[in-house]
Each structure stands twice: as C-alpha cells, then as structure tokens.
Amino acid sequence: MAMLLGASAISALLFLNRPPTDIKEPAETSVSVDVAQVIKQDIRIEIQAQGTVSPLRETAILAEVKGRVIEVAPTFNVGGFVSRDDILLRIDPRDYQTSLLRAQAAVESAESSLAQEKGRTQVALREWQKLPKNSQRSEEAKDLYLRKPQLELAQAQLLAAQADLNTARDNLERTIIRAPYNALIREKHSELGQFVTMGSTLAHIFSVEFAEIRLPIPQSKLAYLDLPGVVGYAKGSSIDIYTDVSGEVKHWSAELHRTEGVFDERSRVLYTVARVEDPYGLQDTSQEPLRIGAFVNASIEGREFTNIVTLPRYLLRAGNFLWVVDKTLHLRNRKVTILRTGGDLIHITAGLDDGDLVSLTTFDNSFNGSLVKIQSTTPSNQLDKHGKPTVTSAEIRSAATAAGTAAAVEGGG
C-alpha cells in the first residue's frame, strides 16, 4: 500500500512540474520549379504530310506519219533534257515532199480551171443580154446559160485542192518530231534507221517546268488549312518539302495549288496538290534536283489563329490540365482548351492569360497547392518541344532591358 501511495505521489509531482507545451504549425517546404511565362501570339499551325513527286505533264510522243527515222537528236536518250520545240528526230520526208508538189500542182490546175470558167461566164452574160426582150428568161434557164453550175464546180474543186495542199504541208511538217515543252525523256521506243508506222510510240516524256505532290490531309486537320473556294487559290499556302539525300536533309519550296475536291473512300482523306517550280534546278543550278518518283515529307503552312499559347506537349496532363503557379507561389491545377494535340507542341486557345506562370516541372496530383520556389522564368514563345529556352538567358535579359528602355522613352515623350 505504501508503494502504491509513493508511486501516485511521484506521478503527481512529475505532472505538476511538467514543462510548458508549445503547439507549432508544421513547416511548409517549397519545391523548386522552372516556369514559362504565358505570351499569347498569332500562329500558323503546320500540317505534316507525305507524298511522291510526280510530273505536272507526261506525254507519249506518237508518229503521225510513217517512214524511216533518218535523224535523232544528241539528247534523244533516256534521261536527256530537251527544250520546247527542240527537234527529237526526223522521219524520211521524200514521199511527203512529192505529195506536196502534187498538191501544189492540183491547186494551180484548179485555179486555172476557175479562171477559164469565169471567162466563159462573162461571155455567156454578154450573149444573154443580147437576147430579145420577149425571150423565155426563167431563173433556171438563166443559171444554166450563164454556166453558174460549172463555175460553182470549179470553185469547189479549188477548195478541195487547197485542202489537199494544207494536208500535204502538215504531213511534211509531221516528219519532224519536236518537244512540246521543256521535258525529260523517260522512255524512248525508236532509234535511227527504224521504220515507224502511223501511231507508233516514239518516246515518253514529262515536263520539268513544274512537279506536283499529292498530299493526303485527314478530315480532322482540314480546319487548320486555307482550302480553296470555287475559283481555287489566289495564292496557295507555303509548303516546305524535305527529304534525306545521301544522309543530308534537303529542302525545296512549294505552294499549295489545289485540292482534288473529293474524299478518298478508303482512307477518308482529302488530297491536296503541292506544286514545285523548276524541280530539276535547270534555272537555278544551285538547287538540288527534286527527282520525279522521290518520296518526300511536307510541312504545310496552315491558316492564322490569334491569341494562341504554345507549350511543350509533355506538360499536358490527363483531362487537359496544366500546373500553374498562382500569385501566392502555390501550384494550382488549371484546365485548358487546346486546339491541337498532335506533334510535340500543344496550342491552347482558352484557360491561360498573358503573364500566367506555367510550371515546366511535372508533378503528380499530391502536389496540388504546394508552395514553390521559381528557379527560372522563360517566355512561352521561346521554348522548344523539350521545354528548354530557344535563346540564352543573356539574350532574354537583353530583350527585356530593351523593351523596358523603349517603354520609358515612350512614356517620357
């Protein structure tokens, strides 16, 4: 009993002499983040597509007359370049020269016959006028007496002879085969000394003045392009054509020329057609040739959108949420509206204002409301797809200083 009383006394003594208890709030630990300062801008979204280079025009050259090939041009080879109206080959013209001489002689004979008939008609007219007034003068009898049918026959024979002369001239000209436009010879099917018949294929050529590329555009991306109206494009969007050539990426400038007007039934895409001028670099020798049949990539400049915020895609979380740093330096979940999620960048149309700070550091949902410490700030329009600045810190500070100086000068004025 005495032990129990002693223990109680000791416990009471310890309780009465206990130190005062101070209740403290738990210390709030900040997390370090890099942020992007929102800057809205007007942008054009590039649409990516792929296609194969094809010629604007391709023609099968056929023989319009028959005969033996007696001459071919030095450039008449597969892969040879020819200019408009260049002579590709000649067919033996002797038979057609003879036909031309005969046609000329027939015209001269018909002209002579017509002149004689006109003379007979004038003589008949004078005789008709000497007939007595009371003679039978029906219109039929008058036409026959004045040799009108014979005169019309002579005129018709002259027209037929002139038509034959024109045909003979044309056939003689057709013995010379010329290039219809600036072209490259894809295939040749005739050679020196070969006898060709009418309709024989002599060569296949295609134009080198322009090349075209069919680019498939999914229906979901058509809204980003300026598509033509009924009259087509006044000036099409710019297109960057590029492909790998011997381990090096080469670029060519093109223009969106037209659409094909209908959706492909299987793939549900609309084909647009890009046009490249001087693909083989015949006018600009410094340009790398863009050869027909090459498979290329294309970046199509889209229509302009205003007040858009562009950020790296990795910042977008499920449900279209971003981490935003508020004025009290706390992380907040912010839902945004995006224009497009394809590629490495996102384009935000609503949910962010100029000057908002978007965290470039990713966190899970447990960090909502956490205090942050900002390590660096980069304008949103100076970020690459990895969230890294596209310019140096010194350049950013220099630009900010210049902007501040300009504002001060303007305010002082």
> If you search the block for the tokens 């007359």, which residue do you land on?
65
| Mean pLDDT along residues 215-227 | 84
**Distances, alpha carbon 117 to alpha carbons 147, 155, 233, in Å:** 8, 9, 62
Query: CA–CA separation, 279 vs 372, rounded Å?
Result: 55
pLDDT of residue 93: 95
pTM of structure: 0.68
The residue with greater pLDDT, 258 or 96, is 96
CB atoms within 10 A of CB 101: 11
> Mind listing the pLDDT tens digit for each residue in 336-347?
888 876 678 888
Average pLDDT of the residues of the chain: 83
Quickly state the pLDDT bin for 411 (edges 50, 70, 90). Answer: very low
Read off the pLDDT of residues 240-264 as tens digits, 9 standing for 90 and up.
Answer: 999 988 788 899 999 888 888 888 8
pLDDT band at 330 (very low <50, low <70, confident <90, very high): confident
DSSP string, 240-285: EEEEEETTEEEEEEEEEEEEEEEE-TTT-EEEEEEEEESTT-SS-T
The answer to whether 296 touches 253, Cβ cutoff 8 Å, is no
Per CATH, the architecture of 61-92+178-208 is what? Beta Barrel (2.40)
Question: Is the pLDDT at 384 greater than 70, yes or no?
Answer: yes
For domain 47-56+209-305, give the CATH number: 2.40.30.170
> What is the fold, at CATH topology level, of the domain defined by 31-43+306-394?
2.40.420
Task: State the maximum Cα–Cα separation within the chain, in Å, rounded to a whole number.
Answer: 186
Report the alpha-carbon distance of residue 376 to residue 368 in Å, rounded.
20
What pLDDT digit, counting tens, does each position of 276-315 carry? Answer: 999 998 888 888 899 999 999 999 888 888 888 888 888 8
pLDDT tens digit sequence for 21-62: 555 555 567 788 888 888 888 888 888 899 999 999 999 999
